[in-house]
A and B are shown apart, each in its own frame.
Chain A
C-alpha cells in the first residue's frame, strides 16, 4: 500500500532563509513521488517529480527534493525563501499499477518579511 506522511502541518521561515518541508512515504513498489504547491484559492501546480532517475530532483522556482530510499523520505528544500513561496505544499506518491495518487495532508508555509 502507498501512503505519505508530511511531518509538519505548518512551517514558518524568514524571507531569505532556507526552506525544508519534510515528507516520508510508504510504497510497495518503486515509487513515483511528486511535490505540488497550492496558493490560496487556487488549484494545484506541480513543483517537481521523481520517477527513478536522478535522486536529486530540481523543480520550478528554485525548489529541489532528494529521494532517499534508505530513509523513505522525499524532503523539499529551497535555499532562500521568497514571500511568493507562502502557500500549501503537498507531497504525493503514486501507485504505478492502478494509476492512483496518494496525498499527504499538506504543509502550510508562512514566509515572514
Chain B
C-alpha cells in the first residue's frame, strides 16, 4: 500500500468552528489531492497541489482552503465549518500527470453539527 495517512480519521465539530485535516505521504509524489465523497456524487475534487506551495481549485472549492509547505504534507482547512461540509474526505497522491494513477488515503469522516 502507498504510504498515505490522514488525520484525524473521525471528527465531530460544530457549525462555525475551523477544522484542519492533514494528509501525509511517504512516497515523495508530486501531486496531492483532496476530495469529498457524498452519496450519489462519487468523488469531487476540492483542491489539488502540483508541488510545494503550488495549488489550484477543484470543482467544489468554496469554503475550503489548502496549504502545502512540504512535499509530504497537504492540509485542508474549513475556515468556518457548515453542515453541508459533513462528508468523507479523501486524500490522494499521484507521481505525475498524464497516465499515472492515484493512490488514496483511508479517509476522514467529518460531521458538522
Please list the residues of chain A having a beta carbon within 8 angstroms of any beta carbon in chain B: 9, 32, 34, 36, 42-46, 49, 51-52, 90, 92, 94-101, 103-106
Residue of B33, B58, B99 with most chain A CB atoms under a 10 A cut-off: B99
Neighbour of B97 across the interface among A45, A92, A98, CB < 8 A: A98
Is B98 a contact partner of A44 (Cβ separation < 8 A)?
Answer: no
Neighbour of A105 across the interface among B42, B97, B105, CB < 8 A: B42
The 4 closest A-B pairs by CB, nearest first: A99-B97, A51-B99, A32-B99, A103-B42
Report B10-49 residues with CB < 8 Å from chain A CB.
Answer: 31, 33, 35, 40-45, 48
Interface residues on B, range: 20 to 34
21 CB contacts below 8 A, A to B, read A34-B102, A44-B43, A44-B90, A44-B102, A46-B101, A51-B99, A52-B99, A94-B97, A94-B98, A96-B98, A96-B99, A99-B96, A99-B98, A100-B45, A101-B33, A101-B92, A103-B43, A103-B44, A105-B40, A105-B41, A105-B42
Residue of B42, B58, B90 with most chain A CB atoms under a 10 A cut-off: B42
Report the minimum CB–CB distance from A13 to chain B (whole Å): 21
